[in-house]
Amino acid sequence: MDGNLRPVGMAPEASKAPQSPEAGRSPKARRTPEARRTALRRLAFTAGLMPLSIAAGLLNGCGFKPRGAAELPFNLVYIQAPSASAFASELRRNLRANRIDITARREEAQARFDLLAETQEREITALSTAGRPREYQIRLRLRWQLRDASDRMLLPPTEMVLRRTITVLDAQGQLNPEEEALMLKDMRADGARQVVRRMAAVKPPPARQP
């Protein structure tokens, strides 16, 4: 019998190719540098889709403050204002963004903010050639004061007037209510930021002599 003949049904023995050093490694380990960079970019993109409320909670838990956040000399504020005041609501939101707590109990507050007046004004400042209003000035007038826990004045009664101008495109000179509402909202936010900056500059009065 020929020495090269093999029994029927038996395949020639396959030659073993040399094994690559990468063969025993996991798919992640076999990634090229470019593939790893791509994976990292995808991970960063996914993290960017995290809800803002969750991201803010994680950052606040680490003691993070937004860039430009005010450092106030107190941590607990009581706000005296009408319940329907839109400006008071914006001020509360702004203070909380600066990690200042709001209390409903006047006696436990370190500082007491009193909103003495809040009025909205509208004035025609320009007319069209047809004599119809072409431009309005919108004003938000605020009057407020700040006291400490002992009712000593930290900031005396202060009047703040914020102004914006609206150009009317309507042929009849009618002001767009939605545009006016958005402008007032922006003015309240601006006013709240200004109040918080004034609060941050407060220096507590000297202690009373016994």
Integer Cα distance of 138 and 201 in angstroms: 29
* Most confident region among 22-31, 50-59, 68-77, 106-115 by mean pLDDT: 106-115
Q: pLDDT value at position 180?
A: 94
Q: Sorting pLDDT into bands at 50, 70 and 90, what band is 208?
A: low
Q: pLDDT value at position 139?
A: 97
Tell me the average pLDDT of the chain: 79
Q: How far is residue 143 from each of residues 25, 53, 101, measured CA to CA in Å?
A: 71, 33, 22
User: What residues have CB less than 8 Å from 84, skipping those under 6 apart?
Assistant: none
Q: Which residue matches tokens 């990690």? A: 99
Dihedral of the CA atoms 90, 91, 93, 97 (nearest 10)? 140
Angular region, 9: left φ>0, alpha ψ -120 to 50, beta rest: left
Percent of the chain with pLDDT over 90: 55
Integer Cα distance of 14 and 29 in angstroms: 29
Higher local confidence (pLDDT), 94 or 204: 94
Tell me what the mean pLDDT of segment 24-37 comes to: 57
Integer Cα distance of 8 and 206 in angstroms: 108
**The pTM of the whole model exceeds 0.75:** no
Q: Which residue matches tokens 């993109």? A: 45
Tell me what the mean pLDDT of segment 172-187 comes to: 92
Kindly list the structural domains of the chain, giving each domain's residue range(s) and its CATH number in brackets, ordered by start: 54-200 (3.30.160.150)
From the CB of residue 4, how many other CB atoms can be counted at a distance below 10 Å?
A: 5
Higher local confidence (pLDDT), 165 or 24: 165
Residue pair 163/139 in contact (Cβ under 8 Å)? The answer is yes
What number of helices (H) and strands (E) belong to the chain? 4, 5
Task: State the pairing for strand pair 133-148/111-127.
Answer: antiparallel
**Element holding 47 (H helix, E strand):** helix 33-48
